[in-house]
Amino acid sequence: MVYRKRNFSRGLIDNVSPSNGDRFLNCNLSQLNIRDIFVGVKKLVFEKCNLINCIVPTGSKIIGCNTAKINYCSHINPDVRPLCSVNCEHVKENNTVKIDGVIAYHERNYEDKVIL
């Protein structure tokens, strides 16, 4: 089967069950968390697809796809699970704001981390 211009991002990927040798053309399969997709399916072909955070089965063919791995921060992307702690690895800046010499609040700026 050939899947063309389909959106299987996030949880939608769980609604498709490809067979050995199926092709994905211009499809969005991106995930919030890095995960294996289509485990046990052989000889899949992905062409011009968005495969962010996808680990495809061994032996799959990838042609012109976005295969970045991104560690998303839940402070920026509220759908990410598990939730990040306040002082998570994504903290870009951590400023203490004082008023009249007393700590009023902490201001933190976060960023997603590109792994690969």
Measured at the CA of 14, the angle between CA 9 and CA 54, to 5 degrees, comes to: 50
pLDDT score of 89: 93
21-58 core/surface letters (b: 16 or more CB in 10 A; e: else): ebbbeebbbbbbeeeebbeebeebbbbebbbbbbbbbe
From the list 31, 42, 104, 105, the residue with the least C-alpha distance to 72 is 31
pTM here? 0.83
pLDDT in the model for residue 81: 86
Report the mean per-residue pLDDT for the chain: 94
Say which DSSP state 91 is in: E
Instruction: Give residue-wise pLDDT tens across range 24-39.
Output: 999 999 999 999 999 9
Alpha carbons 77 and 80: distance in angstroms, whole number: 6
- Residue 53's pLDDT is 97
Low-confidence ranges of the chain (pLDDT < 70): none
